[in-house]
C-alpha cells in the first residue's frame, strides 16, 4: 500500500473576504424574488457578511503577528 499526502494551500484571508463580498453583491442584484426567496437571500447575505467580518478580524491579527482567532473565538 502507498500513502497519499494532500497539501492544502489556504488562500490569503483578504482574498477570501473579497470573494465573499462579491457573492453578497451578486445576491443583492437578484430581482423578481418572492417574499420567501427574498428573506432567504437576506439571510444568506447576513451569514456571508458575518463570515467576512471574522476573516477580516483574523487578517488583522495575522498582520499584527498574533495567532489568528479561529471560528470567531
Tens-place pLDDT, residues 41-57: 999 999 999 999 999 99
Say yes or no to pLDDT of 13 above 70: yes
Domain range summary for the chain, segments of one domain joined by +: 13-63
For residue 71, name the pLDDT band (cuts at 50, 70, 90): low
Quick one: cell of 63? 498582520
pLDDT at 66: 74
Q: Which three cell numbers stand for residue 6?
A: 494532500
What pLDDT is recorded for position 46?
A: 97
- Rounded to two decimals, the pTM is 0.72
Half-sphere exposure of 25 (CA within 13 A, CB side): 6
Nearest to 58 by CA among 48, 66, 69, 44: 69
* Cβ pair 27, 41 in contact under 8 A: yes
Amino acid at each position: 500500500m502507498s500513502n497519499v499526502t494532500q497539501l492544502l494551500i489556504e488562500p490569503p484571508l483578504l482574498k477570501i473576504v473579497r470573494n465573499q463580498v462579491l457573492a453578497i453583491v451578486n445576491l443583492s442584484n437578484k430581482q423578481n424574488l418572492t417574499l420567501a426567496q427574498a428573506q432567504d437571500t437576506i439571510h444568506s447575505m447576513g451569514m456571508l457578511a458575518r463570515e467576512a467580518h471574522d476573516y477580516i478580524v483574523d487578517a488583522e491579527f495575522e498582520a499584527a503577528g498574533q495567532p489568528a482567532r479561529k471560528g470567531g473565538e
